[in-house]
Structure 1
Amino acid sequence: MKPTLLTCVIALSFCACKPSVRLNGTWKLLTGTTITKGVSEVTDYTKGQEFIKIINDNHFAFLKHDLNPARDSSNHFDGGGGSYTLTGDQYTEHLDYYGDHNWENKTFTFTVSLHGDTLVQRGMEKNDKEGIDREIIERYVRL
């Protein structure tokens, strides 16, 4: 009888654990909000540009480009990626690759939540070399 009771308690404790958010897939960034020293700035990533994030079991990559590119050097493409960990709703990116090397080898931790096909990622973005210390909130839709 005791082994059965112990087995039930163990099984129930696993059921009580909060499951991780399932992030695998391709996500389109809709809006990004930065909050710096109490001042908010919202960027609409559906106008004039496109930004996607691709996430597999242990790596992520992001790509951004202008939809109406100039025919000169002002045409901007941006991309980067690396590995990540996900524990419950805590998503931690380890940025291994990026065009601006001041951002490489940095770690950023976010709280993520899923609402239907919408992913919300919220956390702090800090880079002493760039003088950046701000909160970011990104809203993605699954493609």
Structure 2
Amino acid sequence: MKLYLLLISTLLLFACQPTSIHLNGTWKLLSHASIAKGDTTITDYTKGQEMIKIINDTHFAFLNHGGTFDAGGGRYTLSGDQYTEHLDFYNNKDWEGGVFNFTVTIHGDTLIQKGIEKVEGAGVDHEIIEKYIKVK
């Protein structure tokens, strides 16, 4: 009986552990919401422009192709659902060296990234919500 209770307790302990988030892969941006001073602007990335984010074990890179080309990348850390990007490279030098903290969730093949982008040199201070789909 004691062995049975120990086994049940162990199974419940592991069942209650949070699942880890696996970001590795290529992600295509579907939409980007920017919220600043009570105003929300939503950009649909399925029409007229395209952006992908590529993530490996230690680094991320993004490429945006639409009216203009945009690219950047760097190191990142992930602890639970807290994802922090260290923007080491970017074509806009005002953003380089920035550290951006986000909360990430994954539902199936969809990644949601939420957080604050603040870059004083560029006059940027807004919340963003990005929705990506995993490229197969």
Report what 1:97 is aligned to. 89
Give structure 2 stretches of 5+ with no counterpart.
Answer: 1-8
Equivalent pair of 1:20/1:86 in contact (CA under 8 Å): no
Match of 1:109 among 92, 101, 104: 101
1:85/1:10 Cα in 2 relative to 1: closer, same or farther (>3 Å)?
A: farther
Cα distance in 1, alignment partners of residues 26 and 14 from structure 2: 29
Give structure 1 stretches of 5+ with no counterpart.
Answer: 1-8, 67-74
- 1:45 and 2:37 aligned: no
Normalising by structure 1, what TM-score?
Answer: 0.83
The alignment-based identity, stated in percent, is 58
Cα distance in 1, alignment partners of residues 97 and 14 from structure 2: 34
Report what 2:18 is aligned to. 18
- The residue correspondences of 1:112-131 to structure 2 (distance < 5 A) are 112-131=104-123
Cα distance in 2, alignment partners of residues 131 and 95 from structure 1: 17
Report what 2:56 is aligned to. 56
How many angstroms does 1:19 deviate by? 3.2
Work out the number of aligned pairs and report it: 130
Q: Could you give the per-residue CA deviations for residues 36-77 of structure 1, whole angstroms, max 9, x where no partner exists?
A: 0110000001111110000000100000112xxxxxxxx511
Amino acid at match of 1:127: V
Cα distance in 2, alignment partners of residues 49 and 120 from structure 1: 19
How many angstroms does 1:105 deviate by? 0.5
Report what 2:32 is aligned to. 32
- 1:135 and 2:112 aligned: no
How many angstroms does 1:131 deviate by? 1.3
Amino acid at match of 2:103: T
Equivalent pair of 1:125/1:136 in contact (CA under 8 Å): yes
Q: Pairwise CA RMSD of aligned residues?
A: 2.0
How many angstroms does 1:14 deviate by? 6.6
Normalising by structure 2, what TM-score?
Answer: 0.87
